[in-house]
Amino acid sequence: MHECKKCSIFAAEKLVNIRVYIARWRLTMDTSSSFDKKRHIIGALVGPICALLVWLLPIAGLDAAQHKLLAIMSLVAIWWITEPVPIPVTSLLGPTLCVLCGVAEMKTAFASFANPMIFLFMGGFLIAKGMMVNGLDKRIAYGIMSMRWVGDSPRRIFLAMGCACMFCSGWISNTATAAMMFPIALGLLQAIQEMMAANGTKIDLKNYKFATGLMLMTAYACSIGGVLTPIGTPPNIIMLGFLREMAPQAPTVSFFEWMIWGAVAMVAYFAVTYVVLWKMFPAEVKHIDGASAFIRKHKEELGPWTWAQRNTLIAFLVAVVLWVTPGILSIIFGGDSDVVKTYNTYIPEELAAMVGGLLLFFLPVNLKKGEMTMSWKQGVEGIEWGTLLLFGGGLAMGSMMYTTGLSAWVGEGLKDILGGHPNEWLFVGLFCVTALVLSELTSHTAATNLLAPIAIGTAISLGFSPIPVAIGIALSSSLGFMMPVSTPPNAIVYASGYVPLTKMIKSGFIIDLLGILLITIPLVMLLVKAVVG
C-alpha cells in the first residue's frame, strides 16, 4: 500500500508537468483567437479614421493644441482598447505624435517617463523578482497551505489556497502569482483524483465541482490580492501617478493609506468570492485523505532556508518598514509635523522601493565566489519594461491633457451631459462600472490609463475630490472575473480545462456585481472620502 501511494504521487506529479505544458500551449493559442484578431483589425482601421475625423472636424471651445491632442488621444484610446499593436508601443506612439504635431516639446512630452512613481514600480519589480528567483514566494505559499488548521478539509484547502494567492499577489504581480500557484493547485487536484481512485472512487476532474472552484479561487484571489498595495497591480500605481500629475492640490495618498483601504477592499472582495465560489462549487466529501501529506511533502522538498531566501526576506521587510513608517509617524506626531515632512523628504516611497530592490545586489550569498542575492541579469529580466512604458505613456498623455486644458474641456462636457451637478455617488459609480466593463474586454492597465485623466478632470470640474473616483477606478479594474481574456490569471486557470466558460462567466458576473455595489462604491465614498474629505 505504501508503494502504491508513492506511485500515485509520482503519477500525479508527472501529470502536473504535462498539464502545465498543455496549459502554456493553450494559453499561447488563446492570444490568437478569432475574437482578438477581429478586435485588432477593427482597431487598426477605426483608430486612424477617428483620429483623422476629430482632426478635420471643427470643435467649439478648443484651441489648436487641444484639438490636435484630442485627435491623438482618440487614436491612442482606441488602440489601447483594441491592441492592434502592443499596448506599450501605443503608449510611446502618443507622446511621439504630440511632438510631431507641435502639441508639446520633446522634453515636456517624454518627461513623465522619468516620473518618480516609475521607480516605485521598478523597485517593486526587483523585490518581486528576488522573491521568485530565490524561492521565497513558494516558501510563503507552501507555508500557508501547510498550516495545521488546513489539514485534509476541502473547505480549508479552498480557503488556504485563496489566502496564499492573495497574500503573494499583494507584493508580486498577479500573473506571476497565478503562474506559481497554478501548478500547486493542479498537483493537489491530480493527487486527490489518484488517492480517491485508490479508495475505489473515480472522478473526472473536468466535471468535478471542487476542481472548477479551486481553479477559479486561484485566479480570482490573485487579482483580489493586487489591491492591497500600490505596487500590487498596475492600475493602483497608475492612478496614484495621475493624481499627483493632474491634481497636485489634492491630498497625497501615501503607501500606508492605500494599504488601509486596500486591506479593507481585499478582505471584503475575498469574503464575497469565497462564499460565492463555495456555494457554487462545493466539495462532495468532507475530508480529502492525503492532501495535507502532499503539501507537506512539497514543503519539505524546499529544504532549509537558504541565505538567498533570508536576504530576500530582509530586503522585502526593509522596503515594507520604510513604506509604512510615515503612516505610523503621522499617527504619533500628526500628518503635518516636521518629523513626517523630514522623513518624506529624505525617504520618499519611491526611494524606499529602490532601497529594497537594490539591497538584493549587495547582500552576499557567497563572498568567496562573489555571489549576491540576485544577479544583474536576473534583476533586468525581472523588470516588466512594457508596464513601465505603458505607465510612462499614460502619465505623459494625461499630463498634456492637464497642461493644455483638454481635461478641463472634457470635464465641462461631461458635467453638462450629467446635468450640471450630479450626485457624487452616481458620478463615482458610473466610472467604477465603466472601468469594470472595460477591464473585462481589454487590459485593466489600458482601461485605467484611458479613464484616469477623464475621471480626474471631470471630478475637478464638478468640484468633487478626485481621490474617491480615482481609487474606485483602480479597485474596479481588478474585478475583471468574467472572461478568460479579462486578466492573465483567468486565462491561466481556464487553460487547465477544468473551468467551463459558462461557469467562469456566471461566477464572475455575480462577484463583479456584488463587488461593485456592496464594496467598491461604498468603500470609496465612505472610508476614502472620510479620510481625504
Asked if pLDDT for residue 295 goes beyond 90, the answer is no
Q: What is the mean pLDDT of residues 279-286?
A: 82
Per-residue pLDDT, 201: 66
Is 66 within 8 Å of 409 (Cβ atoms)?
yes
pLDDT tens column, 179-206: 888 888 887 787 777 766 766 667 666 7
* pLDDT band for position 315 (cuts 50, 70, 90): very high
Per-residue pLDDT, 199: 64
User: Which range has highest mean pLDDT (30-34, 315-319, 410-414)?
Assistant: 315-319
Could you write out the three-class secondary structure of 132-182?
HHCCHHHHHHHHHHCCCCCCCCHHHHHHHHHHHHHHHHCCCCHHHHHHHHH
User: Which range has highest mean pLDDT (23-32, 277-286, 305-314, 475-484)?
Assistant: 305-314
* % residues pLDDT > 90 (the chain): 25
Q: What is the mean pLDDT of residues 474-501?
A: 84
State the chain's mean pLDDT as an integer: 83
pLDDT tens column, 55-111: 999 888 889 999 999 999 999 989 988 889 888 899 899 999 999 999 999 999 999
Asked if pLDDT for residue 448 goes beyond 90, the answer is no
C-alpha distances in Å from residue 453, one per residue of 91, 242, 506: 14, 7, 32
Is 399 within 8 Å of 154 (Cβ atoms)?
no
pLDDT tens column, 34-62: 667 888 889 899 999 999 999 999 888 88
Written as one letter, the residue type at 457 is G
Per-residue pLDDT, 32: 44
pLDDT tens column, 325-376: 988 888 888 877 889 889 988 998 889 989 999 999 999 998 888 899 999 8
- Rounded-to-integer distance, Cα 253 and Cα 13, Å: 46
Is 140 within 8 Å of 165 (Cβ atoms)?
no
Per-residue pLDDT, 475: 92
pLDDT tens column, 396-419: 888 888 888 888 888 888 777 777
Per-residue pLDDT, 283: 78
Q: What is the CA radius of gyration of the chain?
A: 24
Q: What is the mean pLDDT of residues 308-327?
A: 91
Per-residue pLDDT, 33: 63
Asked if pLDDT for residue 455 goes beyond 60, the answer is yes
DSSP per-residue codes, 487-509: -HHHHHHHTTS-S-HHHHHHHHH
Written as one letter, the residue type at 423 is N
* % residues pLDDT > 70 (the chain): 90
Per-residue pLDDT, 333: 85
Per-residue pLDDT, 473: 92
